[in-house]
A = this chain, B = another copy of it.
């Protein structure tokens, strides 16, 4: 790589002009890992990518064609920071179906859900501000909020998600800016928060008058069991709900949304205005067109069927190929499961052996915001590889684990 400048004292050096927060920023471990795993013969359970063979290419092409024929001057022009009005309406109506009373004034369209996380950091997190999360938690949230100087107060997970019973003394002591939860098919853990825990969470949040961030990228992708009431429905007055079309449609066209009390949306809009003016008008209109035609429902059914099969394949393969002393979660939906290996195996060390055997995953430690766990755990994605590859990849991992034990 070309380096153009050295500072006067001989060091390479523009760092001296950088903000304190820039020193906290790091490249996500996953991204670095993914570089190792992009060779075509590596079976990767590391990313969180949907199955590309299921992308609704024809429907998207039809939407492009329709929009450019009917409203080209609108589709290619600057547009409102809040988002394309018909899409905001569509989302508000869809959420109202679940009994949450949302109007377009409660909806902000974002460049993927990740941007909503960033906007939350920008609006709510000062240097050193406490944020309550489960541990492990979503890597992208850690990355977004660490840049703003968040201090992560963490609560452990069990097979039913965040141990909500443990949060009261923490919120009492710390008054976090918000409580961050992934109630459905947690990334990375694959766990789901039962209704009682959701109700308890809301009760505590009400008692201490706190905000809840409900991150729900996978909610529509349920393979067994019944839908559980969203937290945003239990406590619309204090819940910032994050949704996305990345998992139900395609992630390359980056359309997500935040739904929240209007006063919070207003502040997030101001933050977004400085951040990118608005999300691609064209992409918003394409997603809106596909969604308004009622295609999502059909498509999600198809996704559920295929991902269900892949999840089962992974669960069966784990039982078949992994040694005793290992365990894993049984996700009712989503894209991930969380596996534990025996304490003699460190999943960061194991990673190198695994890559030699042409298989990859993300070591658990990366999902712990304070780096205090996950040494014997890993996240496995089951949506991207086909069933054959899943069997072979889990077999290879089993061999690698035995080798290290």
Query: Which chain A residues have a beta carbon within 8 Å of chain B's beta carbons?
Result: 1-5, 7-8, 12-15, 17-22, 25-28, 31, 47-50, 52-53, 55, 57, 60-61, 64-65, 68, 72-79, 81, 101, 103, 105-106, 110-112, 114-115, 117-118, 121-126, 129, 140, 143-144, 146-148, 177-178, 209, 211, 236-238, 250-254, 261-264, 267, 269-271, 273-283
Contacts and interface: CB of A to CB of B under 8 A. Distances in A.
12 contacts: A2-B106, A5-B261, A13-B263, A17-B124, A22-B124, A25-B271, A49-B77, A53-B73, A55-B72, A111-B280, A114-B274, A143-B273
Contacts of A19: 122-126, 129, 148
B76 A253 contact: yes
Nearest to A2: B262
Contacts of A72: 52, 55, 57
Contacts of A237: 4-5
B273 A275 contact: no
A12 B266 CA distance: 13
A250 B22 CA distance: 32
Contacts of A125: 19
Contact of A8 (B103, B124, B209): B209
Contact of A276 (B7, B77, B254, B264): B254
A209 B53 CA distance: 52
Contact of A14 (B60, B65, B105, B264): B264
A31 B123 contact: no
A274 B123 CA distance: 15
A124 to B, nearest CB: 6
Contacts of A106: 2
B274 A254 contact: no
A2 B105 contact: yes
Contact of A277 (B3, B60, B209, B254): B254
A316 B117 CA distance: 49
Contact of A209 (B7, B126, B209): B7
B118 A27 contact: no
Nearest to A125: B19
